[in-house]
Structure formats: C-alpha cells, structure tokens
C-alpha cells in the first residue's frame, strides 16, 4: 500500500460529497444473508472492509458483485455457517455476521475475535443476547459455536451497555424470529436506524430504532430490495477537522447535520462557523482555532469516539489547552505518539488526553496505528509546515474511499507514493 504524502499549510476550499457510511453498510451487508434473493445496495463505499465482507458472504455461498458504489448480493444459495479465522481477523466487525448466519442456518461458528488496534474487542454482550434468543453456545479450540433448536425465539433483552454491534446483531437475528423481541438499552446510533430502515423495506417489522428501546416483531420472510446507505458522519467529521486545522472554507454535500450536532458544537466553540442548506454543510474555519472545554466521547448522540482522533489532531495547533476523555475504547490513543513526531504536545493518562496547543506542527514521517488514528495523521499533515509522510495507510483504506482524492479536490497538496 503506498504512503500518503502531504504538503501542509494549504487552505482548503470547495465542495465534496461525503461517501456512504462504513458503519451502516457493514451490518446491512450482514443482514442481506436473511434475504433469499438479490439485494442491491447503493451509495456503498468502496472500502477494504466492504471487500472483506464480500469475501465472507462468498465463503458462505452468496454471490457478490461491486461496481460504481453499487453492491449486488445474491444470498439465495447460502449454505455455510462458519467464518474462517483468516476472514475474522481481516475485519474486526465480522462478529456482525453472527445474528444473520444463526437466523438463516440455525447455527454459526466463529473464531474468538482477537483484539484490534483499539484494545480488546469482546463480544460477550452479543453472546449473552443471542443465548437469550434461544442459541446454545460452546467455546472450544478458540472457536465459539452457536446452535438453535427450532429457530430464534423472541424475548425481552437488556444490554448492560448500549453496544452498537450487539444491538445490530439482535435486530438482525430477531427480524425472522418466532414472536416479538424487545431490546432495552439499545444503542441509538444513526447507523442502527439505517439498518432498521433497510430491513423494514424488505418486510421486517422493527420499531424504535434510534431510541434505547427497539421492538422487533418476527416475520416469516424478507423480500429482495434495493436500498441506498446513509452518509458517513465520521468521514464528515474528518473533513470538518481538515478544514478546521488549515483555516479552510468548505462545503460537505449529502450530510444530515442533525447527526453531527455534537461534533459541530465543539468546532463552533473552537471558532468555526457553520451553515446548513438542504444536505449541504458549510464550514468556515478561523485562522487559528481556540481550545475547547473538556470533550468526552459518549454513545450517540454524545460526541462520537471515532471523531476523537480527528478533533485531537486539529486541536494540536489551537490557542490554549484542551482535554479529551475517551470513554468507549480502552486503547484509542496509540496514534498520539505519531502526532508527537510532528511536534504535537499531548499528555495522556489512562482515558484522558491533555492537548496543549503549539504554534506550529512540522512535517515528519509517521505511521497509521488504526483507521481513525491514521486519518488524524493526514489531518495533522494538512496543518503542518513542510511535508508529512504517512505509512501503513492500509488502515485508512478500511474506512475512507479515497481520502487523497477528496482532500485534493479541496485544494490540499496530497498524493500517494
């Protein structure tokens, strides 16, 4: 994978369309397993995580075809029920396939998910919920197997933490279940609403997605459909931080500003001006950002954990000191050592990062440590004097269709090499 080379201190101007959402399309791809026929997914971003999902579907017996942001899946001949370790490791969120495989095949076998760049990624909440839906589970030789005797049985479930993935797995598993499932303390992220909209369009009966109580009335079958995925709010937050760090004036097209309110309010405090018209969001950044009061990552509609690295990156050159508290993942600060190579002054202690604004960053060679941490290095490079070279860009490809093309179209001096 080529490195990304950024020549910093160029103002960003112009308008770009924000890509479809990685975190919406992945559960929708998994849910297509429930449909005995063709699913057409439009606005599907061209990402390595999407390619990994297609490999899993093909391994299970489905046929997939991807062209020009349209993914066609024919799940008529799904026969498999296990995801091999290699594919599980390729994509952290392959646990999202559990509920769909179990519902369709009445059994599922996955390898115990390893950790990822953000720390341990347990699936205990997924396992507990699927057991409450009637699955028997067995852990052996590093694999976890799930078995149903007579299909998914509707139930009342309470998640001890509003896990996005566990919420999605329950909704998917219960869509064709016997009876009604009520999911309490569900995650409320917009990507869950998109999943429910997709399933309801196919004939499911899901109410309350986007709230902390989702009711899924099981139906007999789901019909082949065509669906267009919502916009990627974290990619939008990435481009907001890019404009913020280099005093840009840009317009993001295709966004739903209501889903970005926690991000917009922090950047307004930092001195950015926003205006929204239909699906366009304009950001005008000041010459120099101001530091902000303590920001805490929270579940939706709180400040998104995935936007934390991007915010921290832009605050490295703000006037004053800011504090960020990461409440969702245990180990999400690994990229900060790489930001320090560019001269950032950040101290971390546990889940707290203290960002002391410096007068300037200086370009340097650095390496992506994870998806959003890698994007944070690109943002820092945009605000740094001189040239920044970012390695291990495979992480960035997981979630950004073409960050180089997007930023170039806004006037950034950025290329792959």
Which one-letter DSSP state was computed for residue 47?
A: -
Beta-strand relationship, 143-148 and 107-111: antiparallel
Distance in angstroms (rounded) separating the CA atoms of residues 72 and 216: 26
φ and ψ at residue 136, rounded to 5 degrees:
-100, 135
Q: Which of 372, 390, 397, 400 binds ligand EPZ (CB under 6 A)?
A: 372
Residues in the chain, total: 417
Which range in 19-27, 73-81, 206-214, 283-291 contacts ligand EPZ by CB under 6 A? 19-27
Verify binding: residue 305, ligand EPZ, rule CB under 6 A: yes
Verify binding: residue 378, ligand EPZ, rule CB under 6 A: no
Verify binding: residue 122, ligand EPZ, rule CB under 6 A: yes
Verify binding: residue 23, ligand EPZ, rule CB under 6 A: yes
Q: To the nearest 10°, report the CA torsion of 25, 29, 30, 35.
A: 140
Q: Which of 32, 53, 82, 163 binds ligand EPZ (CB under 6 A)?
A: 163
Verify binding: residue 113, ligand EPZ, rule CB under 6 A: no
Q: Residue 302: CB partners within 8 Å, gap ≥ 6?
A: 262, 296
Candidate list 70, 111, 116, 230, residue with the active-site label: 116
Which one-letter DSSP state was computed for residue 270?
A: T
Determine if residue 210 is left, alpha or beta; phi over 0 gives left, psi from -120 to 50 gives alpha, anything else beta.
Answer: left
Beta-strand relationship, 352-356 and 345-349: antiparallel
Which range in 116-124, 144-152, 192-200, 247-255 contacts ligand EPZ by CB under 6 A? 116-124
DSSP H helical segments within 19-163, as ranges? 22-31, 48-60, 85-90, 98-105, 124-132
User: Toward ligand EPZ, which CB reaches closer, 166 or 289?
Assistant: 166
Q: 3-class DSSP state for residue 6?
A: strand
Which range in 12-20, 122-130, 246-254, 264-272 contacts ligand EPZ by CB under 6 A? 122-130
Per CB under 6 A, which of residues 168..187 are in contact with ligand EPZ?
187
Per CB under 6 A, which of residues 125..144 are in contact with ligand EPZ?
125-126
Residue 308 Cβ, how far from ligand EPZ at the closest point, in Å?
A: 9
Let me know if 230 is a catalytic residue: no
Verify binding: residue 26, ligand EPZ, rule CB under 6 A: yes
Q: Which of 29, 35, 110, 164 binds ligand EPZ (CB under 6 A)?
A: 164
Distance in angstroms (rounded) separating the CA atoms of residues 246 and 12: 7
Residues that bind ligand EPZ (CB under 6 A): 22-23, 26, 93, 121-126, 161, 163-166, 187, 234, 305-306, 328-329, 371-372, 399
Residues marked active site are found at 116
């Amino acid at each position: 994978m080529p490195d990304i080379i950024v020549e910093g201190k160029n103002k960003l101007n112009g308008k770009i369309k924000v890509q479809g959402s990685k975190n919406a399309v992945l559960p929708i791809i998994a849910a297509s397993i429930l449909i005995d026929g063709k699913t057409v997914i439009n606005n599907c971003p061209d990402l390595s995580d999407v390619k990994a999902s297609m490999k899993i579907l093909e391994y299970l017996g489905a046929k997939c075809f991807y062209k020009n942001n349209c993914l066609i899946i024919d799940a008529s001949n799904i026969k498999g029920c296990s995801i091999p370790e290699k594919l599980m490791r390729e994509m952290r969120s392959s646990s999202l396939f559990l509920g769909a495989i179990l519902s369709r095949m009445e059994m599922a076998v996955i390898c115990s998910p390893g950790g990822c760049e953000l720390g341990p990624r347990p699936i205990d909440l997924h396992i507990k919920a699927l057991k409450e839906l009637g699955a028997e589970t067995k852990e052996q030789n590093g694999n976890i197997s799930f078995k149903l005797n007579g299909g998914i049985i509707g139930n009342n479930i309470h998640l001890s933490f509003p896990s996005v993935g566990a919420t999605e797995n329950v909704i998917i598993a219960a869509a064709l279940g016997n009876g009604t499932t009520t999911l309490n303390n569900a995650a409320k992220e917009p990507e869950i609403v998109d999943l429910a909209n997709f399933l309801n369009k196919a004939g499911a009966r899901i109410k309350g997605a986007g709230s902390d109580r989702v009711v899924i009335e099981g139906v007999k079958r789901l019909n082949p459909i065509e669906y267009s995925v919502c916009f990627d709010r974290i990619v939008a937050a990435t481009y907001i931080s890019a404009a913020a760090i280099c005093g840009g004036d840009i317009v993001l097209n295709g966004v739903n500003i209501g889903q970005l309110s926690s991000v917009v309010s922090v950047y307004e405090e930092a001195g950015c001006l926003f205006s929204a018209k239909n699906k366009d969001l304009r950001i005008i950044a000041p010459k120099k950002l101001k530091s902000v009061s303590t920001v805490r990552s929270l579940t939706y509609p709180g400040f998104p954990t995935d936007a934390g690295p991007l915010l921290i990156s832009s605050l490295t050159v703000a006037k004053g000191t800011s504090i960020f508290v990461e409440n969702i993942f245990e180990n999400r600060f690994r990229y900060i050592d790489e930001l320090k190579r560019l001269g950032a002054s950040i101290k971390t202690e546990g889940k707290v990062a203290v960002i002391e604004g410096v007068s300037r960053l200086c370009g340097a060679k650095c390496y992506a440590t994870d998806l959003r941490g890698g994007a944070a290095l690109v943002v820092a490079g945009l605000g740094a004097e001189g040239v920044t070279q970012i390695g291990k860009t495979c992480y960035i490809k997981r979630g950004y269709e073409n960050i180089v093309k997007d930023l170039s179209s806004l006037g950034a001096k950025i290329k792959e090499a």
